[in-house]
Amino acid sequence: MARGKRLIVGLGNPGPEYARTRHNAGFLVADAVAERARASFALEKGNALVAWGQVRGRPVGIAKPQTYMNRSGAAVRNLVGRYGLDLDQVLVVYDDLNLPLGTVRLRPGGSAGGHNGVQSIIDELGSEAFPRLRVGIGSDFPRGGQVDYVLSPFAADEEPLVEEAVALARDAAITFVCDGLAVAMNRYNRKTPRRPTSP
């Protein structure tokens, strides 16, 4: 596996009933990166949809585990092994309740922060040292309402901000592929969504 290759893994739940729910923000970003890379998804052994393409001449894979969120780690471990990737070549994209709706943040590693999908990946890989891109979905729910909130669709009046954030996260992921994590963090770790020139 050439060092130049990168894999973007968007987390979510498979099935049309989850398509535009908050918990599927990672899938939305993965779809946007695949569109930019002119790549089509196909189901691979290990239970993940995978697409390979290029952005700015750089090879990139985009994956959407089909194992449901809480078991994402098995699919990611299989992909890392199959493609001979180092963990710093993999960017995991997922929703985050701790960030305001539409905000995006990149980081080089760390704990799961209560996200079950990320915890599954940490458990399967035996490491927290993989880059991740968090997409804020806010936390406007009553006590005890977290599960219903993350599995609910975005409200109609939230959609413009969601679309902007997905485009921002897409561009951040592409910058990770082409220019590296440090450049992507410096460019995209902003407090509010603001789309810079596309990479």
Q: Determine the Cα–Cα distance for residues 171 and 174; give it in Å rounded to an integer.
A: 5
From 6, 9, 12, 23, active-site residue: 23
Bridge partner list, 94? 134
Q: Quick check: is 23 catalytic? A: yes
DSSP single-letter state for residue 155 = P
- Please give the structure tokens belonging to residue 15: 């099935």
Q: Determine the Cα–Cα distance for residues 188 and 68; give it in Å rounded to an integer.
A: 28
**47 and 75 Cβ atoms separated by less than 8 Å:** yes
Helix H or strand E encompassing 96: strand 90-96
**Residues labelled as active-site residues:** 23
